[in-house]
A = this chain, B = another copy of it.
């Protein structure tokens, strides 16, 4: 936010948003060791929202891991939201759009903090992801329950999958005006078809989307255009992701949910000139390389047409060290061609894992609620089965030292690609 004076950017004019996504509440809830991890991280996020004194919390979908969350997961979520987001703090965001249209299944057809029967300190806004998709009898999302309870403002919910209209929630705080667009998860293939057929329409507060792409002067606009989506971002084959370039150029910032790797630092889309921030999940739901990246949420500050996004590291996330080793690269060093390769690789893995457990200590944050027993994943890429050993027994040796005893070592066969004409 260079070029503006401090006076202009005072607290009355800057919209402050805690941005997070993919909390996957209830993930592994029955695991004796890891069962609380998803809730612990979510609680930290709510604590951050309180300590950063934000105007709202914005979630990018997959709040729950299961389409029908267990009563345990629902209960803990409700308890946390009641504890951290209710209270006397006045909310400074004035809603300018039709609230009856914006929020799905809200009682009284209003944003929760304008409901006269609830005392909301920090409103939560959320789209749904593929994990908290509307499902089952009644086609309800778990977010509908939270919406009706007054705990979450559920927006960006399409109602017609043959043509999707995205009407923003329009908000004002002092001199800043926010148009918040939400697109709850849609199957990527279907979304690609809808876009191709011009069946996805953004209802802008003004006529900003009329011109050709790139013709608008964002600097002069009155609105900050913020979109939250929950789709594949990485190219997973045609029609299997949402190409950034298909999104309209009048947007200023896209918060991208669904992808669990933390890439929260905003990246500019070269063609459309908006920025994309991908906060990533707050709990790893797979022991992959991307999930081992340091987890963050974001503090988004919006002043008129400008924004600043400050990554806030999560300090309660369980240490997780990931390594992938191509055994062929160590064949000579380990002498794999002669003798008992299995035993040699076993010993090699032991040393590696010891070093990884050591490295996990560096991820201790000192936060009293951080679980310190680490997740360790060593992926061994092999070409010859003779390198393999019993991974289950390997893990059992580490039963008191790692959180994922059952799957520390994962063998993956290297598939040699041969050129075809």
Contacts and interface: CB of A to CB of B under 8 A. Distances in A.
Contact of A71 (B78, B119, B144): B144
Interface string A110-153: 00000011111000000000000000111011101100111100
A86 interface: yes
21 contacts: A70-B136, A70-B137, A71-B137, A71-B142, A71-B144, A71-B145, A72-B136, A75-B138, A75-B140, A75-B144, A78-B145, A78-B149, A82-B107, A82-B117, A86-B117, A87-B117, A116-B119, A117-B119, A117-B120, A119-B119, A149-B151
Please give me the 3 A-B residue pairs with the lowest Cβ-Cβ distance, nearest first.
A72-B138, A117-B119, A86-B117
A29 interface: yes
A143 to B, nearest CB: 10
A83 interface: yes
A72 B117 contact: no
A341 to B, nearest CB: 43
A256 to B, nearest CB: 27
A417 interface: no
A79 interface: yes
A391 interface: no
A146 B393 CA distance: 45
By size class, the interface of chain A is 20 to 34
Interface string A67-104: 01011101100110011001110000000000000000
A105 interface: yes
A348 B83 CA distance: 64
Nearest to A35: B137
B119 A107 contact: no
A145 B77 CA distance: 10
Contact of A150 (B29, B82, B148): B82
Contact of A79 (B30, B82, B86, B148): B148
Contacts of A71: 68, 136-138, 140-142, 144-145
Contacts of A88: 116
Nearest to A121: B117
Contacts of A78: 145, 148-149
Given A119-B118, A150-B82, A75 B105 contact: yes
